[in-house]
Structure 1
C-alpha cells in the first residue's frame, strides 16, 4: 500500500513538472536540448540569446550554462525572446488547447444583486399602547377580560371604585354650587375666586381621565358616582392582560397592552456582506412558505444600526398590511428577496478570472498572439458570478477565466528568472556545470557592508521565499508581518541557531548574523508551517 501511494505521488509530481515544462518551452519534453542555439536555421535563429538554462522537471532549478540537471536530464535553454516582458509569458496554440485556456471580455456595466433571506413577522411597535390608570382603586367590573380581544377606541374598559375619585367629585360639586351662588354677587373678586376653585377641581377630574360627558352628568345629577367607567385609549388587540375583577390597581400600574393590528412588521436578516446592497426603499418580494403562490410586494422601511454579534447579521424592517383576519400573523416566517440597487457602470469580470493571493488580487490579461500577463486589480462588489473591478482594468480587455493559475505561476517565474539572468549578465561568475546557480535575494541592499534583505510576511507566506547571502559578510534579515491572517507570528532559523523572534503586525523585526559557512538553511514561522530557503554561497 505504501509503495502504491509513493508511486502515485511520484507520478503526480512528474506530470506537474512536465506541464510547467510545456508552458515554458512548448514542444520540449525529455529530449536533450542543444548546447547552444542552432545557427544553421539562418540569421534570425543565430540572433536568439540564451538567458539561462533550467531543469526540464523543475523550473526552479536554474543554471547559467548547459549541462545535466540533478536528475541527470539535459538542461533546457530559455531564450530572451521567450520572455516577452516583465511578467509576460508566451504559450503556443497547441499548449493553450491542451491546458484548456479560455478567455472572456471585460464588460463595462452595472451590477445588480438579488439577496434571498428570511424574516419573521412581529407586532407593529409603533401601534402598541400600555393601559394604566392615573388614580388608584379597586376594579369593580372588567369589560375586556381576555387576551386577544379586539377593541375599538372609546369602548368601556373597566369600572373603578376609588375613594380619591369620590372625594374629588364631592369637591367639584361643592365648587360648582359656590360658583353658581357667587354669580349673583356684586363683588367681582368673589365671582373670580369661585370660578378659579371650580376650574381647579374640574382639571383634577380631567387629569384623571374623566370625560367631558361624565363631568357634565355629575353637574346635572349633583350626586357623586361610586364607580367611574374608564374607556380604551386606542383600537387594536389586547395582549399581556394583567388585571382581574376585584383587584386593587395602583397609579401607573400596567393593566394590559392594546396593539394596533392594522399593520404588521417583517424583520429581515441582512448579513454583513450584503449590507452594501440594501438601503431604505429597497424593493422586496415576500413569499410565504405555507401559502405557495402568494407574494407580497413591499419596500424596506428601516435598517437597524446594530448587528447581531453571533450571526453577524443586521435587521431590516418591512411594513405590510395586517388585520384581525389577515393571513400574516406575528411569529410566522417568510422568504424575502431584496432587489439591490444597481451600481454605477464599471469594468466587470467573471469571478473565476480573479486570483486572490492574500491581500492582493490579480487577473491574467490575454494580449494576443499567445501572450499573457498578470495584472493587479482592486475588486469591489460581487453579484451573479461577476466581480466589480475598481482599479486595474478599463473595459474591453480579454482576461483568462480558465488555466490562469498555471499562466500566472509561469509569468511570476519568468519575471524572477529574468531578473536573475540580468544579474548573471552583469559580471556574475558562472556556476560550474552541474551546479545550480542561485537567485539573488529580492530587495537585497548593501548598507555599510551589511547584506540587508527585507522579507514581507503575508497570508501566502514569506516573500521572497528564497534568499541568497555570501558567507563571511554580516547580514540582516528584516521581517515585516502585514496581516493577521497568517500563522507566522514568529520567525526562526534553526540551522543557524537564530530565533524565535516575534513578528509584530506592521513593525520591523530583524535578525542580525554573519553566516560563516556555505550551505542551504531553512527559515520558518514559529509553528514551521510556512518556510523559506536561505542559501549561503562562498
Structure 2
C-alpha cells in the first residue's frame, strides 16, 4: 500500500513537471518569435527609389550599376530624399545650416518709399535776371562797379554817364517854359516829350522841371540786388543807345540742376518736394520743389535734367556747388510685399529667392521684382505674406539642390530655341505605357551609352505605330529636364541584339 502511494506521488510530480516544462517551452517560443520579428523590423533597410549619376541627376535608373555617363557607380536615392525631387525642394540639416551661417527673413507688407536720390549743381536762377542798358548815346565818366561777380544791392549806383543829346532837349524845354504869353502850353508839352524821346525817364524830366537846370549827366542805379554776372562798361568808353552795360543775377533763389537716370526719371514730377545737402555746408538742409523736367536727354550720360528751385535768403548756395538731392514721393503709395534686397538672386534673365519651408527644406522660387529702396525690394509676383526667404547662404543651397537633382539651378539660363540634336538607336520594344515606351537598345555612340533597357517619353502620335516585341529603329532628343523623348520610331527587321544590362527608369 505504501509503495503504491509513493508511485502515485512520483507520477503526479512527473506530470506537473512535464506540464510546467511544456508551458515554459511554449512561452519561450512565442517570445523568440516576437523578438525575431522585432529584430527583422529593426534591421529592415529602406528601399531605394531609384539610382542616379550625381553628375547627371536628371537621368534615373531602376537598378544599381555603372553610370553610362561617368566612370563611376550609380548612387541610390532613398525615400527621405525622394520628396526633394518631387516638389523641387532640398533638405539641409540644422547643423549644416549653422555652418553655412544661414539667415532667413519674413515676407512683409508695407510702403516702399519711392524717394529718388540724385546729384546736381547749383546755378543762377535764369528767371531772376535784370539787364541795364544805355538809353542814349554818351560816354562813361565814372564806374562804381568794376568787376564781374561784385555783389550789388537794389538802388546802388552803378555808373555815371555824360549824355550830350540831353543838353539840347533840356535847354529847349527850359527856354520854351520861360517864354511869356498865352498858348505856350502845347509848346511846353512838345519840349517835354522831346526829352522823353532822348531817353530821359519821367523822374529825370521832373528833376529838370523842379530845378530849372540842365542835367547832362545820368547816374545808373541797380534795379535788383544780386551779383554782376556780366560787365559791359568801362570808364571813358563811348556807349550807344541800347548797349548792354550790366547783367545782374538775383541771389534770393537759385536753381539746382539734377541729373536723373532714365530708369528713375518717371518717378519725379514737377511740384515734388526736394531736400538738398551740400558738402560745403555740412548739417544744412535746403528745401525746394521741382520747377520743371527739361525735355532733353544727355546723349553722353543718358540722364534727364530736373530743375529744382531753392530759396537762398542768406546767399549760402553759390553757383557751381555740388549737391545731393532727395526727391520725396508726391503720394504715400500703396502697401506692397517686401523682402530684403540681399535675398534676391539676379541671374541676368530671372530673379530668384530661396523659400524656407518646414523641416529644414528649401526651394528656389522665381519672383517678379519692383522698386528697391533702403535695402528693401518690392515683390510683385511669386511670394505671399508671411513666407520665409533665405537672406544669406542662398548660393550654397542652390549648389546642394543642383547636386541632388531636385531643381534647376537658379543661375541656370533658360532653355533657348536652338533645336536639340537627334540620337539614333535600334532595339526591341519591351513595354508600351500611357506616355512612355521601354526599349532594350544597343549602344548609342552619340550619347556614349552602352546596351541597356530604359524608358523613353512617347509622343501620342507614335503610340499606335509599334507593338511589344517589335524591333525598331528610333531617334531620341534630350529634353530640358534631362530626360529623353522619342522623336521618330520605325519597325525594322530582326537584328542581333546585345545582352541587356541593368535598365534605367525615368
The normalised TM-score by structure 1 is: 0.59
Which residue number corresponds to residue 350 of structure 1? 340
Structure 2 distance, partners of 1:284, 1:379, is 28
- 1:364 and 2:354 are equivalent in the alignment: yes
Q: Which residue of 1 aligns with 2:320?
A: 331
Distance in 1 of aligned mates of 2:59 and 2:218:
101
The structural deviation recorded for 1:106 is 0.3
Q: Which residue of 2 aligns with 1:76?
A: 76
- Are 1:105 and 1:399, in contact at CA under 8 Å, matched by a contact in 2? yes
1:249 aligns with 2:239: yes
User: Quick one: which of 413, 426, 442 aligns to 2:436?
Assistant: 426
Describe how 1:185-200 pairs up with structure 2 within 5 A. 197=190
* Pairing partner for 1:286 from 259, 265, 277: 277
Pick the structure with greater CA Rg: 2
Distance 1:445 1:88, change over 3 A: farther
Task: Give the whole-Å Cα distance in 2 for the aligned partners of 1:226 and 1:308.
Answer: 53
Out of 317, 334, 357, the residue aligned to residue 308 of structure 2 is: 317
CA-to-aligned-CA distance 1:191-224 (integer Å, 9 cap, x gap): 6xx698567546535xx3x332311233356665
Judge which range, 77-86 or 131-140, deviates more.
Answer: 77-86
User: Residues 476 and 488 of structure 2 are in contact (CA less than 8 Å); yes or no, is this contact kept in structure 1?
Assistant: no
Q: Which moved more, 1:387-396 or 1:78-87?
A: 78-87
Which stretch shifts more, 402-411 or 255-264?
Answer: 402-411
What is the CA-CA distance between 1:131 and the residue it aligns to?
1.9
The Cα shift of 1:368 comes to 1.8
**Match of 1:107?**
108
Cα gap change, 1:222 to 1:196, in 2 (>3 Å)? closer
CA distance in 1, matches of 2:96, 2:190: 103
SS in 1 for 2:145: coil
Separation in structure 1 between the aligned mates of residue 125 and residue 478 of structure 2, nearest angstrom: 61
Partner of 1:130: 131
Match of 1:384 in 2: 374
Cα distance in 2 for partners of 1:119, 1:274 equals 15
Q: Size of the alignment, in residue pairs?
A: 402
- TM value normalised by structure 2: 0.62
Conserved 8 A contact 2:124-2:249: yes
Distance change (3 Å), C-alpha of 1:100 and 1:222: closer
1:301/1:319 contact within 8 Å kept:
no
C-alpha distance in structure 2 between counterparts of 1:308 and 1:464, whole Å: 47
- Structure 1's unaligned 5+ residue stretches are 1-39, 185-190, 456-462, 474-538
Does the Cα contact within 8 Å between 1:68 and 1:75 map onto a contact in 2?
Answer: no
How far 1:136 sits from its partner (Å)? 3.1
Give structure 2 stretches of 5+ with no counterpart: 1-39, 410-431, 443-448, 466-474, 491-506
Deviation at 1:426, TM superposition (A): 2.2
How far did 1:176 drift? 6.5
SS of structure 2 residue aligned to 1:218: helix
Indicate which of 50, 53, 74 corresponds to 2:51. Answer: 53
CA distance in 1, matches of 2:196, 2:289: 45
Of 382-391 and 247-256, deviating more is: 247-256
Aligned-partner Cα distance in 2 for 1:453–1:129 = 79
State the Cα distance separating 1:128 from its structure 2 match.
2.4
1:347 Cα offset (Å) = 0.7
- Shift in alpha-carbon separation, 1:74–1:452, aligned structure 2, 3 A: closer
Helix, strand or coil at the partner of 2:203: helix
2-side partners of 1:431 and 1:100: how far apart?
A: 48
Distance 1:122 1:431, change over 3 A: same
